[in-house]
Copies of this chain bind each other. A is one copy, B any other.
Amino acid sequence: MARIVMKFGGTSMAGTERIRIVAARVKREVEAGNQVAVVVSAMAGETDRLVNFCREASSLYDPREYDVVVSAGEQITSGLLAIALQAVGLKARSWMGWQLPIRTSDGHASARIGEIDTTGLVASLERGEVAVIPGFQGVASGERVTTLGRGGSDTSAVAMAAAMKADRCDIYTDVDGVYTTDPRIVPRARKLKRVTYEEMLELASVGAKVLQTRSVGLAMKEKVRVQVLSSFVDEAAPLGHAEPGTLIVSEEDLGDMERQLITGIAHDKNEAKITLTNVPDKPGAVAAIFEPLAEANINVDMIIQNIAHLKGQAAPSTDVTFTVPGADLARSLDVLGKAQGAIGYVELVHDTRVAKISVVGVGMKSHAGVASTMFKTLGERGINILAITTSEIKVSVLIEEDYTELAVRVLHTAYGLDAEDAA
């Protein structure tokens, strides 16, 4: 007998018809002899509806009251799923965040989960009841309702799995697992059987939108085995068993056979490149650029500093290029414009027509040559590299946006990731 958490997103909970399909799936896990807690999202579109009500009521809404309003969406689906589970002959009950309780920080609208009391819940599971828990919500000091921020239900599921000491946390999503790259770009992309937390973090943060990044970080910290599964496969298939989706595990749990050099290739078109020309080449100049950006809470990613040039100038100077999230571009230009005097640059140039391509894999730790294969492969196709960053398990390059799909395809082939039987 295993203890598992199943998490269903808004598309799976969108209407009673779909909720009944979820109930049938939960029933199969129970009949397989498992203790099951289900974490649910609000019906697709419901959270947006509730957020809009709050915005209409006041543009400066109190986040404590916003939490009261938006947490209702998951309250509704958890009650409905409990009813649907009883209708298929299971014992089931819902547990609101305040009933367990799921303690959180006081950071309303973006609270962080603290301690979860599972005493009542575990007793209920041991009586053979399925627990249904609204995702996204908890309770802060003073017994006020909190929510975790958009997409927080993945985090709720992982946190519940950790607190319950669950054997597995199954996340049912719109996709049926994590792929070597975006299958819309590379039809020969393969579904990964296993991926490490670290790889998943890199893949998620550079654009493979399967799980909320926070939930992956929490799973890594708490060593929760997370499985990504499709909500949309044939209802009769033995779920969580024969068609296992992708399991996210620690590096130790990765079998040697599965330990590939490169796990996946991600791309991200939401970066913007900024160049400051003729920055004085002297100590402290670079700090003068990045300190005001950090103060504005803008996350700088790739940084290149060209060699100093002297052409016709009094003092040596250099060009500094870096990337920021596209959504922060306007604010970045504003901050840097105000700091022109302090930094001493001549021109402020920006470009949003760039893309970041990353090759990710825990295997590259012990293998040289990953980066050079990447540069050579792209060079052979005439793709110019604008910037480079590396970590222990990732090499990322910035290229012109128009080459994104081509770059992903040629790298997917170069690292031997193409499936043998193409789609």
A interface residue numbers (CB < 8 A to B): 16-17, 19-20, 50, 53-54, 56-58, 60-62, 64-69, 71-73, 75-76, 78-84, 86-87, 93-94, 96, 98-99, 143-145
When distances are taken between beta carbons in the complex, the residues of chain B under 8 Å from A69 are 75-76, 79-80, 83
Contact B83 A62 (CB under 8 A): yes
Contact B58 A86 (CB under 8 A): yes
22 A-B pairs in the complex with CB atoms less than 8 angstroms apart? A16-B53, A16-B56, A17-B56, A53-B76, A53-B80, A54-B79, A57-B81, A57-B83, A57-B87, A58-B83, A58-B86, A60-B87, A61-B83, A62-B82, A62-B83, A64-B93, A68-B75, A68-B79, A68-B94, A69-B80, A72-B72, A72-B73
- Closest chain B CB from A344 CB (angstroms): 44
- Closest chain B CB from A133 CB (angstroms): 12
Contact A66 B83 (CB under 8 A): yes
- Closest chain B CB from A295 CB (angstroms): 29
The 4 closest A-B pairs by CB, nearest first: A68-B79, A58-B87, A69-B79, A16-B56
- Closest chain B CB from A111 CB (angstroms): 16
Known contacts A50-B76, A80-B57; decide if A86 and B62 are in contact (CB<8 Å).
Answer: yes
Set B57, B75, B94, B145: member contacting A16, Cβ < 8 A: B57
CA distance A57 to B86 in the complex (A): 10
- Closest chain B CB from A221 CB (angstroms): 30
When distances are taken between beta carbons in the complex, the residues of chain B under 8 Å from A57 are 16, 19-20, 80-81, 83-84, 87
Set B67, B80, B83, B98: member contacting A98, Cβ < 8 A: B98
Chain B: CB-nearest residue to A63: B83
- Closest chain B CB from A147 CB (angstroms): 11
- Closest chain B CB from A341 CB (angstroms): 39
